[in-house]
Structure 1
Amino acid sequence: MKDIVANQLIKYLENRGIKHIFGLCGHTNIAFLAALSKSEKIRFINVRHEQIASHAADGYARVTKKASVVLSHLGPGLTNAATGVANAALDSIPMVVIAGDVPSHYYGKHPHQEVNLHADGDQWEIYRPFVKRAWRVDNAELLPEIMEKAFALAESGRPGPVLVDVPMDMFSKEIDSAIFEKLNQNAKTMYKPSIDDELAEKIVKTLAEAKNPVIHVGGGVILADATKELQEFVVHMGIPVSHSLMGKGTLPDDHPLVLGMTGFWGTQFINDKCKAADYILGLGTSFKEADCSSWYPEYTFNFPPTKLIHIDIDPSELGRNYPVEIGAVADLKNALRVLNRVAKRLYPQARQNQALKDEIAANRKAFKASNKEVEESNQFPMSPQRILADLRDVLPRNAIITTDVGWNKNGVGQQFPIYEPGSILTPGGFATMGFGSPAALGAKVAAPDRVVVSLIGDGGFGQNPAVLATAAIENIPAIFVIMNNHAFGTIAGLEKAHFDTTFGTIFEKDGKTYSPDFAAIARAYGVEGITINKAEEFKPAMEKAIAMNKPVVIDAWMVNNPVPTAGHWNIMDIYSPGKKVHHVSTN
């Protein structure tokens, strides 16, 4: 039996369990959309900009822990989506991008919107620097095999996005349905590598005999769904845990052995504990620059004399930034299962470290006390600490937070408690402005029964305001909290500190700071809009937004004070060599 590729592709996606596709139409993909319109199992989330589609799919994949699907048009559609796909790539998020392309029989003739400046039919090459693989489908009968490889590659090893570039005529070609049907015999999940008992015993004994061991975790633990196994190991071994920005929420922030986030936006206590460690067990972390204070040994990590045990699914991460004494390539869930079994065999009684727990608790209490004044301040524009504190007070423990960049990312990493694994979605490696609000759409679609809040600056929200059209039309009840400082605030603080100007970073009109009326913009899209006029209004507004269970924008003006930091960033030495200058307030 024969049928056109588009119809069979939709059936294939249904059989894989795909429930949502994020995307935007174009003349190259309407055959796919026509086939999708007949599906009773897949919901199409229609957006107004392809970057919104890829960021939303990113947020969706982080919550579901399965590859999401993006549908794109050729040329500008594909390049619009590229920022979101690259963001997913740097944060190891599985995604399959299906993009329409020019007709295969028109390669070289430069048909409408073709990219062919270096080779004919060349648009798929645009994604090669950041996707795990890019395929161009030159034979319709090869598409089934390519799709199977695409999902397998996106979800295996170190996860990430892939591109399947489909010339538009391929969607309309008829092929034998048996080619797609035989793929049903393939296993859709594969066994992942682990470690053996001998290596586990070596690691456990080394940690047990260490004087000041620390476990440093990254986002790879969450991607591997290994948070329960990690907590079991931490509790049994009694070892404190630090985390990268992407590792936040791996263990609850109120766990007695959680130190907190390291690096530039880490606190002195956390950085000092890591610097003083004799052994660090790194799990699913790349030891990125911001998490390591630009790798300067006097601030966060000091290898050597500290020694590193590193387990990661990606062998290229082992020894990349720090020398490794014991390195293992393994799936973290499997590896931690073995470590737990061996640890309990070697040390049947859980190891206690009450003095360390008391020290961590005292530091938390002191840090909270140091913020008390700004968290309770009635000043307006609001203090960012008050926004975060009030928000945490009203949110359920399992609420999902998506952040953008600036205070809503760095301040959240440092000061906002996260209690459920995977409940904070933040743009780590790419630090993409504009990620937060579309990611909230994807997260809410993936988890409709959980409260989803996007924390985003006014600069970031201005990147993709059309997210509100999708929220309204698709009835996606995410809450968008705009931490509005009338600026690209973090960059403004940097420029002011080092060059004594805020040129190009502050939003101004006629000599005064400027902001659109975001609440009015929300209402114009058919979304509830609330403007905060004094600090005391914020918490009731959040409670109201949660109770309404529909999309809401809350515009909260705040001062542009920098996130306090005890770490370091190499750019400070570039801007102001020989000086200890970070950020300053622009208010």
Structure 2
Amino acid sequence: MAKKKGGDYIAETLVREKIPYVFGVCGHGTVGLIDRLYDVKDEVQMISPRHEQTAVHMADAFFRVSHRVAATLTSTGPGSANQIMGLAVAQTDSSAILAITANVPTQQFNRGPFQELNLHHQADFNNVIRPVVKRSFQPTRVEMLPLAMRQACATMTTGRPGPVNLDIPYNLFQEEGDLAEEAVGSAFGVRRPGGSPDDVLATVDAILAAERPVLFVGHGMALSEGGPELTELARWMSIPVVSSPNGMGTLDMTDALSLGFIGRNGAYQANQAGRHADLVLAIGARFDDRSASSWQPGYSWNFPSTKLIHVDLDHAELTRNYTPDLAIQADARTFIRQVLTELANRAVGREPRLTSWLEQIDGWRKEWEAFVAPGFAAHQQPIRPERIVADCMKVLPDDAILSFDAGIHHNWFMQFWKARAPQNMLNSWGYSGMGFGPSAILGAKLAAPDRVCVSVCGDGGFTMVPHVLCTAVEYNIPVVWVVWNNFAWGAIRDLQYGYFDGREYGTAFYQGENSQPYNPDFAAWARAAGVEGFTVTRSEDFAGTLEAAIRMNRPVLIDVHVDADIRPPTTGSWALPPLQPKQPAFGTAWRPA
């Protein structure tokens, strides 16, 4: 062991852990560590966005796209508090992030120094951050850093990934101690538990016996990188696949076996298959309220009438919302490989199966496509939402990465986008944080610099984080923002229209007493920041503008004026208790007799 400053040890550990970026905002508490990061800047680049929330969203997206961990760095007090929403998004959507926060020096604990929280415990930021991370560590001596960092790196990448926090009193960055170099702690994708032999046998028996099976896959499938195995299983056994938004693309969504998203704003064929299935094999999916029509029987699923086999790495998900007939704690890819091996051992043929079931699903798909087709073909002002989805599908390459905020625009893309591969569609799903999409696309581009990266974001969400323009220009990150401008908090305004007789209040963007629709000139705002800006009000112009933006290979914003009065056609349901849930706009609920 050798005497070493804590800041040096942290910087060297980031290099050892192969963490390529620190997304951080400086502060008095972090200057001692930033000075040490200067020495490793060729291996760990510090990127400083203009807000800590954006720093976390960038690290989140970097992990989602690359499955590599990035770190964040925030200073004592408000800077660290600013990242709470971003960490909540990362935690609920299972993104590993090493969130380093500075705290007051140990010499001043409980004396109420600048930015200390001490009402209940000294240097008490841990209790602020604890609900949104897997674990918060607070070493209070330099000698505690090696163990804390090793455990933090292992915790964030083992099992279900998620953010962890290292809350470090800032005197440790400059103080010295006897520090031994610890082994690498990160273990993402290394520890992959499988199902028991009996569970694998029972699963294969159930698949072979089922007449109307469905595979339901979520983010766990993408995190396990099990797309090729999923595709082989689906095609071998002719099983249709329904996916959550974060599972989209694990089976190419242009494949006939891909039914799309399920739930209130799902595709009709997905909800029909879910409620008519006799077996659902759910892998790496958690049955949240929006993909389960708020657990109302007959709208998306019919458990317990339908047999459920639920496979997930996180044991807490296995009985959270439904009680499975068979619960299996396992990594998605490992488990599917076990199933494929058992099918091969039984010499199960690869000839087409389930013809009647697939024909029935194809009929539902054709009904749905006929119903929605007119909107995709229409040109009008303001622009129909379907045109934005259609032109993005026409213009963007198959490997383009899209990020979305929460909002009505996201509902349209969930319902109609066809992801060709996993990790191409970045959603703020579990916590639904606004500002995620415009910020995350920056981290996505750093993870995949050779791919087209586009943020489709609401006007409300973009206005929360407009400083992303500055970061893109400062660090030359060539992304495209498509601002879905409907002059409203559109998704919530639609709830007011649907549940409260159109009594809109506080959801439309108006200026002055004459109630004229108002938004800033987003394109001019972009140009003021050094970003190329365009405004599109005619649907005929959008595809060409998007093509030009991609060719520029620089930061570009497109302000698109979209009709706020055209809503995604619901095919499932969503409950806001105690309000009475609305019935689907297309199709009806169905329960077995």
| TM-score interval, normalised by the smaller of the two chains | over 0.9
Contact conserved, 1:379 with 1:535, CA < 8 A, in 2?
Answer: yes
Q: Name the structure 2 match of 1:564.
A: 569
CA distance in 2, matches of 1:85, 1:415: 28
Say if 1:141 and 1:408 are closer, same or farther in 2 by CA, change over 3 A: same
- Equivalent of 1:136 in 135, 138, 141: 138
Residue 362 of structure 1: how far off its partner (Å): 5.0
Q: 1:482 offset after TM fit, Å?
A: 0.4
- Other structure's SS at 2:548 match: helix
Aligned to 2:377: 376
Measured in 2, the distance between the counterparts of 1:154 and 1:363 equals 42
- Out of 160, 163, 168, the residue aligned to residue 162 of structure 2 is 160
The corresponding residue for 1:552 is 556
Greater Cα shift, 261-270 or 81-90: 261-270
> 5+ residue gaps in structure 1?
none
The residue aligned with 2:396 is: 395
Deviation at 1:293, TM superposition (A): 0.5
Provide the C-alpha distance between the structure 2 equivalents of 1:578 and 1:95, rounded to a whole number of angstroms: 37
TM, length-normalised to structure 2: 0.94
User: Could you tell me the TM-score, scaled by structure 1's length?
Assistant: 0.95
Match of 2:448 in 1: 447
* Distance of aligned partners of 1:333 and 1:187 in 2 relative to their CA distance in 1, 3 Å threshold: closer
Give 1:115's match in structure 2, choosing from 117, 122, 130. 117
Does the Cα contact within 8 Å between 2:230 and 2:336 map onto a contact in 1? yes
Q: 1:478 Cα shift?
A: 0.9
Asked if the contact 1:224–1:331 (Cα under 8 Å) also holds between the matched residues in 2, the reply is yes
Letter in 1 for 2:56: S
Amino acid at match of 2:120: H
CA distance in 1, matches of 2:414, 2:217: 14
Query: Closer, same or farther in 2 for the Cα pair 1:147/1:413, shift >3 Å?
Result: same
Q: Is the 8 A contact 1:256 1:357 kept in 2?
A: no
SS in 2 for 1:211: coil
- 1:526 corresponds to which residue? 530
Change (3 A) 1:16 1:397: same
Q: Distance in 2 between matches of 1:241 and 1:360?
A: 11
Letter in 1 for 2:454: V
> Which range moved further: 167-176 or 482-491?
167-176
Please identify runs of 4+ aligned residues in structure 1 that moved more than 6 A: 185-189
Deviates more, 1:220-229 or 1:364-373: 364-373
Q: Where in structure 2 are the equivalents of 1:402-441 lying within 5 Å?
A: 402-441=403-442
Matches within 5 A, 1:163-562: 163-177=165-179, 179=180, 181-183=181-183, 190-353=190-353, 354-361=355-362, 363-499=364-500, 500-510=502-512, 511-560=515-564, 561-562=566-567
How many residues are matched? 579
**Secondary structure of the corresponding residue to residue 449 of structure 2:** coil
Q: Tell me how large the CA RMSD over aligned residues is.
A: 1.9
Letter of the 1:311 counterpart? V
Which among 37, 40, 43 is matched to residue 41 of structure 1?
43
Question: Given that residues 242 and 261 in structure 2 are in contact (C-alpha distance below 8 angstroms), is that contact kept between their aligned partners in structure 1?
Answer: yes
Query: How much has 1:477 moved relative to structure 2?
Result: 0.6
CA contact (8 A) 2:84 2:132 kept: no
Select the residue among 134, 144, 147 that pairs with 1:145.
147
Q: Is the 8 A contact 2:154 2:187 kept in 1?
A: no
8 Å CA contact 2:442–2:477 kept in 1: the answer is yes
Shift of 1:183: 2.4
Give distance in 2, aligned partners of 1:92 and 1:184.
21
| Cα deviation code 1:95-149 (max 9, x no counterpart) | 1100011111111111111122221110121111121101111111111111111
Offset of residue 282 of structure 1: 0.8
Q: Which amino acid in 2 is paired with 1:503? A: Y
CA contact (8 A) 1:498 1:581 kept: no
Amino acid at match of 1:399: A
Q: C-alpha distance in 2, partners of 1:578/1:278? A: 26
Contact 1:127 1:134 in 2 (8 A): yes
Counterpart CA distance in 2 for 1:7 and 1:524 is 39
Counterpart amino acid of 1:308?
L
2:92 counterpart (70, 90, 93): 90
Q: Which moved more, 1:336-345 or 1:49-58?
A: 336-345
Return closer, same or farther for 1:331/1:398 CA change in 2, 3 Å cut-off: same
1:224-252 deviation per Cα after TM superposition (whole angstroms, max 9, x unaligned): 11111111111111111111222222211
How far apart in 1 are the matches of 2:492 and 2:188?
Answer: 45
Query: Counterpart in 1 of 2:589?
Result: none
Inter-partner Cα distance in structure 2 for 1:393 and 1:579:
33
Asked whether the equivalents of residues 394 and 542 of structure 1 are also in contact (C-alpha less than 8 Å), the reply is: yes
Using the TM superposition, give the Cα deviation of residue 491 of structure 1 relative to its aligned residue in structure 2, in angstroms.
Answer: 0.2
Alignment partners' CA distance in 1, 2:363 and 2:454: 30
CA separation in 1, counterparts of 2:186 and 2:249?
35
TM-fit CA distance, 1:351: 4.4
Ranges in structure 2 where 5+ consecutive residues have no aligned partner: 587-593
- Check 1:304–1:469 CA distance in 2 against 1; reply closer, same or farther (3 A cut): same
Q: Letter of the aligned partner of 1:439 in structure 2?
A: A
Identity %: 37
- Which amino acid in 2 is paired with 1:167? P
Q: Aligned letter for 2:465?
A: N
Would the aligned equivalents of 2:217 and 2:241 in 1 still touch at CA under 8 Å? Answer: yes
8 Å CA contact 1:529, 1:554 repeated in 2? yes
Q: CA offsets, 1:389-412, max 9 Å, x none? A: 011100000100101112322111
CA contact (8 A) 1:46 1:470 kept: yes
Deviation at 1:215, TM superposition (A): 0.9
Aligned match of 2:590:
none
Q: Aligned-pair distance for 1:358? A: 4.7
Match of 1:372, SS state, is helix
1:59 has 2:42 as partner: no
* Other structure's SS at 2:248 match: coil
What code does the residue aligned with 2:418 have?
A: P
Q: Distance in 1 between matches of 2:519 and 2:187?
A: 53
1:183 to 1:364, Cα distance in 2 relative to 1, 3 A: same
Most deviating of 221-230 and 356-365: 356-365
Q: CA deviation at 1:357?
A: 4.4
Letter in 1 for 2:140: D
List per-residue Cα deviations over 1:327-385 (Å, max 9, x = no partner): 11111111111111111222431141345445545544543443333223221221111
User: Residues of 2 paired with 1:473 and 1:55: CA distance?
Assistant: 18
Q: Partner of 1:38: helix, strand, or coil?
A: helix
Q: 1:460 & 1:357 partners in 2: Cα distance?
A: 40
User: What CA distance in whole angstroms lies between the structure 2 residues aligned with 1:200 and 1:420?
Assistant: 27
Q: Specify whether residues 322 and 548 from structure 1 end up closer, same or farther in structure 2 by C-alpha distance, changes over 3 A only.
A: same
The CA distance in 2 between the partners of 1:18 and 1:251, in whole Å, is 29
Pairing 1:3-22 to 2, within 5 Å after superposition: 3-22=4-23
**Contact between 1:404 and 1:434, CA under 8 Å: does it hold in 2?**
yes
Distance in 1, matches of 2:380 and 2:273, equals 35
Cα shift at 1:318 = 0.9
